[in-house]
Amino acid sequence: MGRYVIRRLLQMIPVFVGATLLIFLMVNVMGDPVAGLCGDKECDPATAAQLRREFGLDKPVWQQYLTYMGNVFTGDFGTAFNGQKVTELMSTAFPVTIRLTVVAVLFEIVVGIALGVVTGLRRGRPVDTAVLVLTLVVISVPTFVTGLLLQLLLGVQWSWIRPSVSAEAPFGELIVPGLVLASVSLAYVTRLTRTSIAENRRADYVRTAIAKGLPRRRVVTRHLLRNSLIPVVTFIGTDVGALMGGAIVTERIFNIHGVGFQLYQGILRQNTQTVVGFVTVLVLVFLVANLLVDLLYAVLDPRIRYA
Amino acid sequence: MLLDVRDLRVEFRTRDGVAHAVNGVNLSVDAGETLAVLGESGSGKSVTAQAVMGILDSPPGRVTGGEILFKGRDLLGLKEEERRRIRGAEMAMIFQDALSSLNPVLTVGAQLAEMFTVHRGMSRKDARARAVELMDRVRIPAARERVDDYPHQFSGGMRQRIMIAMAMALEPSLIIADEPTTALDVTVQAQVMDLLAELQRELDMGLVLITHDLGVVADVADRIAVMYAGRIVESAPVHDLYKAPAHPYTRGLLASIPRLDQKGRELYAIKGLPPSLTDIPPGCPFNPRCPMVRDTPCRTEVPPLFEVAADRGSACFFWEECLHG
Amino acid sequence: MPEPQPPRPPQSEPPGGGRAPEDGAVAATGMGGAMDLATSEGATLEGARGPDGAGPRDRPRSLWSDAWRDLRRNPVFLVSALLILFLVFVSLWPSAIAPGNPLACDLAKAQEGSQPGHPFGFNGQGCDVYTRTVYGARVSVTVGVLATLGVAVLGSVLGGLAGFFGGVWDAILSRITDIFFAIPVVLGGLVLLSVVTSSTIWPVIGFMVLLGWPQISRIARGSVITARQNDYVQAARALGASSPRMLLRHIAPNAVAPVIVVATIALGTYIALEATLSYLGVGLKPPTVSWGIDISSASAYIRQAPHALLWPAGALAVTVLAFIMLGDAVRDALDPKLR
C-alpha cells in the first residue's frame, strides 16, 4: 500500500507540471499580462517595460514558470489585478466554492443514488423509463440553460429564492445553485447506479443471499448495494475536482463570489497570477481527489490489493 | 415424505418466445435420502431446484402449475414472507460456483454469522462464535484466524466447504446441491462430496443432488431421476438404473461414459442436440434423437411415466424393450 | 437454446464494471457528467466484447448487421435519427423553412412576443427569434460535426497506435492524456479563447479538438488492446501477418464500435459546450448566428422577454438530446450483454 501511494504520488508530478505549464503557457503566450495591470486604459510603453522587468516578464517563459512555481511552493501565489494577494482571494473564494461543491455532492449522493436504486430494481417499469428520460433531458440541457431557467422560475417568477447569492454565500442560499452545478453529474450518478444495481441484481451472490432466507431489505442494502455502489463512489470522488473547476458557469449565473468568479475576472483582465494560481490549486485538488478515490476503491473492494 | 413435487411447470417469457423449462416434474425425497437429478444443461434440473427454493428470477421465470409439498405444506400457496422463513432455515441450497456465489466484499465470517443473526436473532458475538464452529465442522484449517478472510482468499475446495457450512448452519431438513463439485479439481471433488454425504448422515437430511455427472451419482445417491427437456424420463434406485436402464436416453448416457474395460472401442455419443425449450418437438421430446423411435406413438403422443417396478418409472412407450434389450 | 438462466457477470472484474485503478494518475474526464457518460458507456461496450467471436472476418459484419436489425426496430433510434436528419437539412438550407434574414432586426419591435409571421416573437435587438433559431442550427451542427471529426480522427489514430505498439510511446501518451484530463474544460476554453479575436468558428473547433482528443484516444487505446488480445489476432500474428495489415484488417474493425458510440454522444456535448462558451462570452461572436450567443444575450432581459431565451435553448436541448439518444441507442444495439 505504502509503495503504491508513493508510486502514484510520483506519477502525479508530471501531470501536475504538465497541466500547470499548459495553463501558464496559454495565459502567457496568448495574452499580455501587463495589459491588465494598468486598469482599463492603455499602459504607456515605459511603464509597461518597467512592469515587465518587475514581474520578470522579460525572461524566457520557462524561467518565468520556474520562478512562479518556486514562489508557489513557498506559499507566494503573487498579486491579483487589484493589488490584493492571490492567497487572500483564495481564502475568500475557496470556502464559498467548497460549500457549493458540498451541496452539489450531497445532491449527487442522496438524490442520484436513491433514484438509481429505485430504477435499477424496477428496470423496464414506468418509473424506470420516466427517470431515464428525465436524466437524458438533464444531461442534454446545458448547465447554463438549466441555471438560467431555475433562476427565472424559482427566483423571479415564484420568488422562492433570491436570484443572486449574497457575498457570504451561506448554505441556505446555495441549495439551488448546488442543484444546478450537480445536475448533469446527478443524472449520471443515477444512470451509473441503475446500471450497476441492475447488473448485480442477477449476480450469484445475490441469489445466494435470497436462498439464505434474508429479508429483501437486507438483501438489497447489505449485499446488493454494497457491491453496486463501488463504481458510483469512485465516480463521485473524481467528480469533486471536476465540480470545483466547473463551477464557473453556475457561479456566474447566480453571482456567487467563489473560485469561478475570481477565475473569470482574472481571465477577463488577463491576470496571469490569479489564473495560474487558482488553476494550480484546482489541479492539485483534482489529483488528490483521484488518488483518494483509488485508495478508497481498495477499501471498498477487498479483492483489490495494491502492490 | 419430506419433499414431494407434483406436476411442476415453469415457464420463462423471453424475447424469443416462451421457454418451457419444466413441464410436469414429479419428485420426492425422504429424510436421510439422497436423490440425484441427472440431466444435460437445459434439461430443467436447475430451474426445478430454484422453483423449490422459491428463488426463480421472476420475471421472466414463472411457476405455472403443480404443487411443491414440503413437510406436507404446499409451498406455492405460502406468502413470500413465510417462504423466506423456510429458506435457509428448513431448506438450503449449495451452488455450483462458490467464488461467485459468495459475496466478494463481505468476510466469510460475516456471511456465515448472518444466518444466525437473521433467522435466530442471535447477537453478533454469538453468531460469530457459531461461524467459527461451522468452519471447524467443515474442516477448514485455522478457522479462528480465517473467519475474517474474504472469499477470494480461499481455495476452490475451501470456498465450497464454506458454502456447505452456510447451507447446514441452521441444520435444515433438506439441502439442494446444484452441481456442487463441478467447478472443483477432481481430487477435491471427492473430499467435498464425502463431507456433504457425512453431514447428511449426521443430520439425517434429505439431499437433492443436481448433476450432469453420472460418476458422482453412483457413489452417493440412493435414487436417480433423469431429466430431459423439462420432464423426468426415468426414475429408479441407483443400482437398478445402472444395471438396466429403462429409457433409451439413460442408456445413451450410460453408454457414453468412458470405461477402462472397453479401451480402444469408439465411445458412444447420443446423436443430435437437446431440443430448444421454446420449440419442444411434439410427442416424446427425445424422439428426434432416439435410436428406438417409431412413428406412432413416439412422434404423436407424450409418453406418461410408466411404472416399471414398485419404485421405478420410465417415460418410454417401449421401456420393456429397452430394459431387456 | 441455452438454459433459461440469466447471464452472470464475469467475476474476475469488480462488479458494476468499475474502472481499473491502476490506469494512471487520473481517471475521470473532468469534462462533466455527459462526457463521463460517454466514456463509461463506450468502455462497457469495449469490455463486454470478449474473445468469443467465431471468426475474424464475419464477426464485425454480423455485429453491425445485428445492431442494424435492432436499431431499425428501436423507436428511440428512429426518432433521434429523424431529428438529426432534419437538423442537417435545416443547417444546409435554412431558408427553406425560414424565409427571413436573421440579421435583419428592428429595434422598435424589441422584446415583443409572438405575432403573425413571427411565431417566436422578437429578441432584445428586435430580431426575429424564429429565423435566428433556424439559422443557429447551422453553426451548432457545423461546430459539433467538425470538432467531433477532428477529435475522432486525432484521438483514434494516437490512441490506436499507442495501444497497438505499447511501450514507451504508450506511456508518454497516457501521461499526456492525464494532463489534459486534469484541466477543467470550461476553464481551458475561457483561458484559450479569451485572447482570440477571430470571429470565425475555427478557434472554437480547434480548442475542442485540442482538449477533446484525449478522451477518444483513451477509448481507442483500450479497445485496440482488447481486440489485440483476441485469439484470432494472436493467430494472425503467429502466422506472420505484418503490423499494418493486422492493425487495419483485424483490429481496427473490432475497435471502432466504442469510438463511434462515444463520438456520437460527444457530438451532442460539443454543441452544448459551444453554447456554454458563447454564453461566457469567449466562444462565437456576433454577427455569427448561434444559439449560445442568442441565449447569452437573452439572459440579460430574461424577466421581460423569456421567449427570446426559451426558443434557442429548447432547440439546443433537443439537438443535444438527439445526439445523446442516438449514441445511447447505438451502444445498446452493439452491446451483446443487453441482448
What is the per-residue pLDDT across C222-249, written as a single tens digit (0 to 9) for each? 888 887 777 777 777 777 777 777 777 7
C124 located within any domain = yes
CB C47 within 8 A of CB C10: no
- Of the given ranges (C13-27, C196-210, C263-277), which has the lowest mean pLDDT? C13-27
Q: Is the pLDDT of residue B260 over 90?
A: no
Asked whether the beta carbons of residue C5 and residue B14 sit closer than 8 angstroms, the reply is no
Better-scored residue on pLDDT, C5 or A169:
A169
Closest CA–CA distance from residue B218 to any residue of chain A (Å)? 28
DSSP state of C264: H
Better-scored residue on pLDDT, B262 or C88:
C88
**C-alpha pair distances (Å), C119 with each of B314, C115, C124, C128, C187:** 80, 6, 16, 9, 37
Amino acid A282: pLDDT: 86
SS3 content of chain A, % helix, strand, coil (to 5): 80, 0, 20
Please give the Cα distance from C103 to C123 (Å, whole number). Answer: 12
Encode pLDDT of A276-295 as tens digits.
Answer: 888 888 888 888 888 888 88
Residue range B43-62: mean pLDDT, rounded:
88
Closest CA–CA distance from residue A203 to any residue of chain B (Å)? 8
Please give the Cα distance from A191 to A170 (Å, whole number). Answer: 31
Domain that holds residue C254: 63-338
Closest CA–CA distance from residue A208 to any residue of chain C (Å)? 13
Strands of B17-29's sheet in order across: B17-29, B3-14, B61-70, B73-74
Which of C4, C11, C15 is the closest to B14 by Cβ? C4
Q: What SS3 string covers chain B?
A: CCEEEEEEEEEEEECCEEEEEEEEEEEEECCCCEEEEECCCCCCHHHHHHHHHCCCCCCCEEEEEEEEEECCEEHHHCCHHHHHHHECCCEEEECCCHHHHCCCCCCHHHHHHHHHHHHHCCCHHHHHHHHHHHHHHCCCCCHHHHCCCCHHHCCHHHHHHHHHHHHHCCCCCEEEEECCCCCCCHHHHHHHHHHHHHHHHHHCCEEEEEECCHHHHHHHCCEEEEEECCEEEEEEEHHHHHHCCCCHHHHHHHHCCCCHHHCCCCCCCCCCCCCCCCCCCCCCCCHHHCCCCCCCCCCCCCCCCEEEECCEEECCCCHHHHHHC
Amino acid A127: pLDDT: 87
Better-scored residue on pLDDT, A50 or C268:
C268
Please give the Cα distance from C218 to C232 (Å, whole number). Answer: 24
Better-scored residue on pLDDT, A36 or C185:
C185
Residue range C284-290: mean pLDDT, rounded:
79
Asked whether the beta carbons of residue C183 and residue A249 sit closer than 8 angstroms, the reply is no
With a CB-CB cutoff of 8 Å, which residues 294-323 of chain C face chain A?
295, 299, 302-303, 306, 309, 313, 316-318, 320-321
Contacting residues of B for A300, CB less than 8 Å apart = 105
B155-160 long-range contacts, CB within 8 A, separation 24+: B156/B98, B156/B99, B156/B183, B156/B184, B156/B185, B156/B188, B157/B184, B157/B185, B157/B188, B157/B191, B157/B192, B159/B98, B159/B99, B159/B102, B160/B94, B160/B98, B160/B184, B160/B188, B160/B192
Which amino acid is located at B81 in the chain?
E
Please give the Cα distance from B109 to A218 (Å, whole number). Answer: 17
Asked whether the beta carbons of residue C5 and residue B278 sit closer than 8 angstroms, the reply is no
Asked whether the beta carbons of residue A210 and residue B87 sit closer than 8 angstroms, the reply is yes
**C-alpha pair distances (Å), A203 with each of A197, A223, B100, C14:** 10, 10, 8, 12
C25 located within any domain = no
Residue C43's pLDDT band (boundaries 50, 70, 90)?
Answer: very low
Residue C138's pLDDT band (boundaries 50, 70, 90)?
Answer: confident
C1 located within any domain = no
Better-scored residue on pLDDT, B132 or A168:
B132
C14 located within any domain = no
Kindly report the number of other CB atoms within 10 A of residue C105's CB atom. 18
Q: Is the pLDDT of residue A19 over 60?
A: yes
Contacting residues of C for A19, CB less than 8 Å apart = 179-180, 182-183
Kindly report the number of other CB atoms within 10 A of residue A44's CB atom. 10
Whichever domain contains C215, its CATH number is 1.10.3720.10
Check whether the bond before C287 is cis (ω within 30° of 0): yes
Residue range C65-93: mean pLDDT, rounded:
84
- Of the given ranges (A20-29, C115-124, C315-324), which has the lowest mean pLDDT? C115-124
- Of the given ranges (A186-200, B28-42, C37-51), which has the lowest mean pLDDT? C37-51
Amino acid A242: pLDDT: 80
Residue range B195-223: mean pLDDT, rounded:
87
How many residues belong to chain A? 307
Closest CA–CA distance from residue A158 to any residue of chain C (Å)? 12
Which of C179, C195, C324 is the closest to A19 by Cβ? C179
C9 located within any domain = no
Which of A152, A297, A301 is the closest to C306 by Cβ? A152
Instruction: Please name the residues in contact with C150: beta carbons below 8 A apart, sequence gap of 6 or more.
Output: C205, C208, C209, C212, C213
Strand-pairing partners, residue B61, are B12
C69 located within any domain = yes
Q: Which residues of A129-146 are buried (b: 16+ CB within 10 A; e: fewer)?
A: eebbeebbbbbbbbbbbb
Please give the Cα distance from A116 to A236 (Å, whole number). Answer: 14
Asked whether the beta carbons of residue C3 and residue B46 sit closer than 8 angstroms, the reply is yes
| B97 φ/ψ sector (left φ>0, alpha ψ -120 to 50, else beta) | beta
Mutate to test the interface with C, among A6, A9, A12, A15 (most CBs of C within 10 A): A15
Amino acid A29: pLDDT: 64
Pairing of strands B306-309, B91-94: unpaired
Encode pLDDT of A106-131 as tens digits.
Answer: 999 999 999 999 998 888 788 888 89
Amino acid C50: pLDDT: 38
Asked whether the beta carbons of residue A230 and residue C15 sit closer than 8 angstroms, the reply is yes
Interface check for B86 against chain A (CB to CB < 8 A): the answer is yes
Q: Is the pLDDT of residue B205 over 50?
A: yes
Mutate to test the interface with A, among C26, C215, C311 (most CBs of A within 10 A): C26
CB C276 within 8 A of CB A142: yes
Which triple of cell numbers denotes residue C92?
A: 444546409
CA B11 to chain centre: 18
C208 located within any domain = yes
Asked whether the beta carbons of residue C191 and residue A301 sit closer than 8 angstroms, the reply is no
Residue C132's pLDDT band (boundaries 50, 70, 90)?
Answer: confident
* Domains held by chain C: number: 1
**Domains parsed from chain A with CATH numbers:** 2-73 (no CATH), 89-300 (1.10.3720.10)
Q: Is the pLDDT of residue A93 over 90?
A: no
Encode pLDDT of A193-248 as tens digits.
Answer: 998 898 888 889 999 999 999 999 999 999 999 888 888 888 888 888 788 877 88
3 state DSSP class of C128: strand
Which amino acid is located at A87 in the chain?
T
Please give the Cα distance from C280 to A249 (Å, whole number). Answer: 8
C11 located within any domain = no
Amino acid B125: pLDDT: 93
Encode pLDDT of A150-194 as tens digits.
Answer: 888 887 778 777 777 777 767 777 888 999 999 888 998 998 899
Amino acid B235: pLDDT: 93
Which of A15, A22, A139 is the closest to C324 by Cβ? A139
Which triple of cell numbers denotes residue C211?
A: 482538449
Please give the Cα distance from C262 to B196 (Å, whole number). Answer: 51
Q: Which residues of C211-226 are buried (b: 16+ CB within 10 A; e: fewer)?
A: bbbbbbbbbbbbbbbb
Share of chain C above pLDDT 70, in %: 74
Q: Is the pLDDT of residue C2 over 70?
A: no
Residue range B282-303: mean pLDDT, rounded:
88
- Of the given ranges (B213-222, B239-248, B287-296, C36-45), which has the lowest mean pLDDT? C36-45
Highest-pLDDT range among A41-55, B40-54, C55-69, C251-265: B40-54
Chain B residue with minimum CA distance to C15: B104
- Of the given ranges (C114-123, C251-260, C284-293), which has the lowest mean pLDDT? C114-123
**C-alpha pair distances (Å), C92 with each of B187, C86, C96, C325:** 72, 10, 9, 22
Instruction: Please name the residues in contact with A125: beta carbons below 8 A apart, sequence gap of 6 or more.
Output: none
**C-alpha pair distances (Å), C154 with each of A306, B159, C143, C188, C200:** 33, 49, 16, 19, 22
